[in-house]
């Protein structure tokens, strides 16, 4: 068992900035997705920040990043900065999700305006 979500992701997908640790565990993506699904927002954000520190980089699959941001926003719906970060991530991998990214930006603006 991995100690953190970040460690599990690093073993499964690699890390652009650090060597992938040697690990004797058998890795299955569905086990990681299960762990991600029930992870708290802090653990998910730690993984995103460490494995994709510049938003445009990292080896996490796009669908994992999108899922991670979705799960974080469900846990922290009132944070405009985080909502914009999720929108930026979607814009980078669009245009399929540009309309969702635009909605997220509008939501962030409304949160800041106190609506």
- Please give the residue that has the higher pLDDT: either 15 or 46: 46
pLDDT of residue 99: 95
Give the separation between CA 22 and CA 46, rounded to whole angstroms.
21
Judged by phi (left if over 0) then psi (alpha if -120 to 50, else beta), residue 4 lies in beta
Q: Over 70: is that where the pLDDT of 115 sits?
A: no
Judged by phi (left if over 0) then psi (alpha if -120 to 50, else beta), residue 58 lies in left
Q: Over 70: is that where the pLDDT of 84 sits?
A: yes
Interval 70-98 mean pLDDT: 94
pTM for the full model? Answer: 0.91
* All structural domains of the chain with their residue ranges: 1-76, 77-115
Give the separation between CA 8 and CA 17, rounded to whole angstroms.
16
pLDDT digits (tens, 9 = 90+) for 16-66: 888 877 888 788 899 999 999 999 999 999 999 999 988 888 899 999 999
Answer whether 55's CB lies under 8 Å from 85's CB. yes
**Residue 22, φ and ψ in degrees, nearest 5:** -70, 135
Token pair in block for residue 72? 């974080």
């Amino acid at each position: 068992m991995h100690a953190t979500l970040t460690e599990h992701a690093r073993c499964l997908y690699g890390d652009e900035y650090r060597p992938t640790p040697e690990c004797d565990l058998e890795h299955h993506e569905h086990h990681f997705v299960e762990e991600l699904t029930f992870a708290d927002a802090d653990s998910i954000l730690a993984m995103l920040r460490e494995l994709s520190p510049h938003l445009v980089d990292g080896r996490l699959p796009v669908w994992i990043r999108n899922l991670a941001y979705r799960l974080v926003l469900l846990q922290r719906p009132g944070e405009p900065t985080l909502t914009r970060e999720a929108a930026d991530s979607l814009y980078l991998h669009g245009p399929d999700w540009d309309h969702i990214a635009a909605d997220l930006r509008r939501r962030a603006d409304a949160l800041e305006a106190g609506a």
